[in-house]
Amino acid sequence: MLTYKQVCKLTENDAREYLERLRWPNGPVCAHCGSAVVAKLNGKATRPGVYKCKARECRKQFTVTVGTIFERSHIPLTTWIQAFHLICASKKGVSALQLQRMLGLKSYKSAWHMAHRVRHAMQNEPLRTMLSGTVEADETWVGPRLRGHGTGLKIENKTAVMALVERGGKMRTKVIGRVTQKNLKGALDEMVAKSSRLLTDGLQAYVKLGPAFEGGHETVDHSVGEYARGDVHVNSAESYFALLKRGIHGAFHHVGRHHLHRYADEFAFRWNHRTVTDGERTDAALKMAPGTRLVYKAD
């Protein structure tokens, strides 16, 4: 793992070798077929870091960037690694405009797309197992701040984000659009084991869904000022929402619904890796870069 000061001193060859160590800790593997029978090309006309697969059915050339978010990018790997470190180390996020200034990128468009590629690498990892044990479930509304003196909560321009937190484990987040029993049930069925103990607030939809969980369903009633009763609370989910909202309002100012899931994943990734160093967090994100290529038109 490297500090940001060390990252800034990397040469392009250093950066490539750093990524190779992270992606291939046991030696190079073909990015096309997965074969470990490969050879490094060292000819004078060959650019650094090119390998060739020796498997008869493949025989293709590749580099460490093939099949990753770095593939076909004209931005140097040193700049990519600096961007990863900045985003991983910034508790409330880094705007594309700030990335452009700090990294010396030529256009805002390049910085914006780079930031989204990094967020794409940070997306929720596939669940090997469902969240289990004691699981907190909560949701919040994300969107533009309202102006004027009207009363009541207006949600026409806001989007609901749900957080599911396993006590002592990982969390998952999901943009659900609207807080309906159907949407909440879909997220719970997808990510929470039925053997779990479910903790929520007093929302009526949760009350109806709670009996499905074998470990029981307990609630806190925010409407009467109850936010914790023993170990019954949703404060872990609330801490994630606090960071997400402060980041959106403070660093990004506005996030479109189409891209909200990427920002939610970015903050969830940092929340899940909050107990490690910035360098370890950056290494974890870089290891997720393979297999997550994001092209501009798909964004």
Backbone angles phi, psi at 67, to 5 degrees: 75, 20
pLDDT for 298 = 47
Amino acid at 137: A
Query: Is there a contact between 213 and 194 (Cβ–Cβ < 8 Å)?
Result: yes
Query: Is there a contact between 73 and 295 (Cβ–Cβ < 8 Å)?
Result: no
CA 262 to chain centre: 7
Q: In the chain, what are the domain boundaries?
A: 4-124+276-298, 134-257
Task: Give the span between the Cα atoms of 83 and 258, in whole angstroms.
Answer: 23
- Per-residue pLDDT band at 62 (split at 50, 70, 90): very high
For range 211-240, the mean pLDDT? 94
pLDDT for 232 = 96
Rounded alpha-carbon distances, angstroms, from residue 252 to 89, 97, 111, 187, 249: 16, 9, 13, 26, 6
Backbone angles phi, psi at 272, to 5 degrees: -70, -20
Query: Is there a contact between 222 and 202 (Cβ–Cβ < 8 Å)?
Result: yes
Rounded alpha-carbon distances, angstroms, from residue 193 to 110, 173, 187: 41, 16, 11
Candidate from 18-27, 196-205, 284-293 with smallest mean pLDDT: 284-293
CATH number for region 134-257: 3.30.420
For range 14-34, the mean pLDDT? 95
For residue 220, the SS3 value is strand
- Per-residue pLDDT band at 144 (split at 50, 70, 90): confident
Look at residues 58, 148, 119 and name the one whose alpha carbon lies nearest to residue 260: 119
pTM (two decimals): 0.89
Beta bridge partners of 68: 290
Residue 128 has pLDDT above 60, yes or no: yes
Task: Give the span between the Cα atoms of 286 and 213, in whole angstroms.
Answer: 36
Query: Is there a contact between 246 and 238 (Cβ–Cβ < 8 Å)?
Result: no
- Mean pLDDT for the chain? 90
pLDDT for 215 = 96
Candidate from 158-167, 253-262, 287-296 with smallest mean pLDDT: 287-296
Residue 136 has pLDDT above 80, yes or no: yes
pLDDT for 272 = 94
pLDDT for 45 = 83
For range 59-84, the mean pLDDT? 94
pLDDT for 289 = 87
Residue 196 has pLDDT above 80, yes or no: yes
Task: Give the span between the Cα atoms of 254 and 248, in whole angstroms.
Answer: 6
Task: Give the span between the Cα atoms of 269 and 267, in whole angstroms.
Answer: 5
Structure tokens at 10: 């990397």
Query: Is there a contact between 135 and 237 (Cβ–Cβ < 8 Å)?
Result: no
Backbone angles phi, psi at 242, to 5 degrees: -60, -45
